[in-house]
Structure 1
Amino acid sequence: MSTRRTVAITGASSGIGLGLVKAFLASGFNVIGNARSEVGLAEASAALGNPQGFIGVTGDIATPQTAERIFQAGIEAFGQVDVLINNAGFFLPKPFVEYSPEDIENLLQTNLKGVIYASQVAAAHMIGRKQGRIINITAAIALQPNLAVPAALPVLIKGGLNQFTRALALELSPHNIQVNAVAPGIIETPMHDPATHGFLNGLQPAGRMGQVSEIADAVLYLANAHFTTGVVLPVDGGMSAGKW
Structure 2
Amino acid sequence: MKFENKTVIVTGGGTGIGKKTAQRFFEEGANVIINGRREDVLNQTALEIDPSGKRVLAVSGDISLPETSKKLVQAAVEAFGGVDVLVNNTGKFVPAPMLEHTPEDLQSYLDTIVKGTFYPSQAVVPEMKKRGGGAIVNTGSMWALQAVESTPSSAYSAAMAGRHALTRNMAVELAGDNIRVNAVAPAVVETPIYNSFMTEKEVAEVLPTFNAFHPIGRNGTPADVAEAILFLASDSATWVTGIVMPLDGGVTARLR
Alpha-carbon distance in 2 for matches of 1:146, 1:197: 15
Deviates more, 1:190-199 or 1:65-74: 190-199
TM-aligned CA deviation for residue 125 of structure 1: 2.1
Give the whole-Å Cα distance in 2 for the aligned partners of 1:242 and 1:216.
Answer: 24
Aligned-pair CA distance for 1:151: 1.1
Aligned equivalent of 2:110:
108
Give the match's secondary structure for 1:202.
helix
d(CA) in 2 for partners of 1:107, 1:50? 34
AA paired with 2:206? T
- What is residue 212 of structure 1 aligned with on the other side? 222
Q: Choose 65-74 or 192-201, whichever is displaced more.
A: 192-201
1:157 aligns with 2:159: yes
- The answer to whether structure 1 residue 232 and structure 2 residue 233 are counterparts is no
Letter in 2 for 1:22: Q
- Aligned residues of 2:18 and 2:89 also touching (Cα < 8 A): yes
What is the TM-score of this pair, normalised by structure 1? 0.94
- Write the mapping of 1:87-102 to structure 2, written as runs, cut at 5 A: 87-102=89-104
Q: 1:144, 1:239 within 8 Å by CA — same for their partners in 2? A: no
In the alignment, what sits opposite 1:185? 187
How far did residue 33 of structure 1 move? 0.6
Gaps of 5+ in 1: none
1:118-137 correspondence to structure 2 within 5 Å:
118-137=120-139
Q: Which moved more, 1:233-242 or 1:170-179?
A: 233-242
Alignment correspondent of 2:26: 25
Q: State TM-score, norm by structure 2.
A: 0.90
Q: Give the structure 1 partner of residue 199 of structure 2.
A: none
Matches of 1:216 and 1:60 in 2, distance apart? 23
What displacement does 1:242 show?
A: 4.3
SS in 1 for 2:21: helix
Q: Secondary structure at the match of 1:25?
A: helix
Shift of 1:49: 4.7
27-36 vs 125-134, which deviates more?
125-134
Give, in whole Å, the separation in 2 of the partners of 1:23 and 1:133: 16
Query: Residue type matched to 2:133 in 1?
Result: Q
**Runs of 4+ residues over 6 Å off in structure 1:** none
- The CA distance in 1 between the partners of 2:165 and 2:84, in whole Å, is 23
- Counterpart for residue 65 of structure 2: 63
* Contact 1:141–1:240, Cα closer than 8 Å, also in 2: no
CA contact (8 A) 2:11 2:35 kept: yes
Match of 2:197 in 1: none
Matches of 1:179 and 1:222 in 2, distance apart? 9
- The 8 Å contact of residues 188 and 211 in structure 1, kept in 2 or not, is answered as yes
Corresponding residue number in structure 1 for 2:208: 198
Superposition deviation, residue 38 in structure 1: 1.2
Once residues 206 and 223 of structure 2 are traced to their aligned partners in structure 1, the CA distance between those partners, rounded to angstroms, is: 21
CA distances 1:46-69 after superposition (whole Å, capped 9, x unpaired): 332524311111111110000001
Q: C-alpha distance in 2, partners of 1:103/1:19? A: 28
- Structure 2 gaps, min length 5: 195-202
What CA distance in whole angstroms lies between the structure 2 residues aligned with 1:173 and 1:46? 36
Where do 1:33-72 residues align within 5 Å? 33-51=34-52, 52-72=54-74
